[in-house]
Amino acid sequence: MEDMKKIEKARKFCQEVKELAKEYDLPFFVVTEGASATFNNNCEAVKNARDNHKKWELEHHFDPEEDWSGEKIDFLNE
């Protein structure tokens, strides 16, 4: 149960970063314990960070192509 709350908090944080980046029209890549998010419009630094994180995910048996953004997320019963 505690792990699920941590994942929900991480996803909420990533969603908020996504919204903020959209507001400022900026590329980004963010990693937290339990979630990550990215938007890139040809920024080499963001691409490099995400590429390296994909390698880490594969080495640790995570799916680098997982997309939780379309899932219904409870956000800790807000």
With respect to residue 75, please indicate whether it lies within any of the assigned structural domains.
no
Residue 75 CB coordination number (10 Å): 11
Over residues 13-45, the pLDDT tens digits come to 999 999 999 999 999 999 998 899 999 999 999
pLDDT for the residue numbered 71: 67
* Domain residue limits at 38: 2-59
Question: How many structural domains comprise the chain?
Answer: 1
pLDDT at 77 over 60: no
Q: What is the pTM of this model?
A: 0.80
With respect to residue 67, please indicate whether it lies within any of the assigned structural domains.
no
Give one DSSP letter per residue of 1-53, joined into a string.
-HHHHHHHHHHHHHHHHHHHHHHHT--EEEEETTEEEEE-SS-HHHHHHHHHH
With respect to residue 6, please indicate whether it lies within any of the assigned structural domains.
yes
